[in-house]
Structure 1
Amino acid sequence: MFLTIVGLLVLGGIAYGVVRALDKPENVAVAAPEVVEVQAEPTLEPVTLKDPSAFLAAMPPTVGPYSMTKAATLDPEKTTLTTRAAEVDDLTYSDGTTTLACVPSSTMTWPMPRLSTRRLAKDGTDPQPVTVGDKKVGQRVTIEGDPTKYVWRNGTAVFVLRGPAEALEGFWIQFPL
């Protein structure tokens, strides 16, 4: 009887080992890790606009790590812009280290002549589409220099962004207008 129990235990152990050896788990697909870049938060407090026009009030107070630190409305007749504009603003954005100048020009009262926009961006290279949803509403170009400029049109406004070349793309891609 004792030998029968020992034999059954040995056979059971062998059977268990054979089943485990033959029972290979299915290949499990492990999803690749998803890398999410955390956008830096602004460290500076944005300027408080006093009695802004509707156009100026539409400008974002923060863009990624940048805060609007200065804002002034310019007389469109006294600017060096080669385009007609209903309003021109001079904005400064900073992250505490890098400063960018943005000059948005509104054409809210009449259509922007395409020829004028082309003159403003005449030395531009690397054209990129400006889209709202799936609709192309304008184009952005790069004007190399010191400082480098991005010039873009979104259909109703023209923007000129100046600053260090390495900072412009990150700012522009997050700029909501």
Structure 2
Amino acid sequence: MVRGLHLSALLLCATAVHAQAPEAHDHAAHQRAAPPADPSPVVVPLDAAARATLTRHTVEATAHGQTLRCEGVSLAALLQSSGAMPDAPLRGAHLDRYVLVSARDGYRAVFSLGELDATLGNRGVYLVDRCDGAPLDADNGPLRLLVPDDTRPARGVRQVERITIIAAP
């Protein structure tokens, strides 16, 4: 009889643990799969009015053996002013977001929001509209993305047509 009770108690405990395990698992999965902080995708306005209130920077970068001295706005500031990136240090759901920069000719480059955040990557990326004292020509503009600290200019996008913020799947 004692042996039967012991086995019954063991089965009862195992059933209770098994019944609790899915709830604990579901809770952990819910924490990892929290809904995004903002809608996705978000298209960032690039018009002159969207850039007019932002601080302008002079940026030097080398592209294809040519040193450029350009003027424009910080990509992070543009994203923040449009509401696509928070002003506060990134955390949580914003850390899975990336910036897709698309050009008129089909060229594209990607940056993570964390890479642009001043408290994380602090990468200097600039959307410029003037180089060497003149507006960009049709081959390079009207907008161009420059990443002065990249070793190669591969993420420097000419003819920028669209900037989109996307939450990673």
Same fold (TM over 0.5): no
TM-score by length of 2: 0.26
TM-score by length of 1: 0.25
Q: Where is the helix percentage greater, Structure 1 or Structure 2?
A: 2
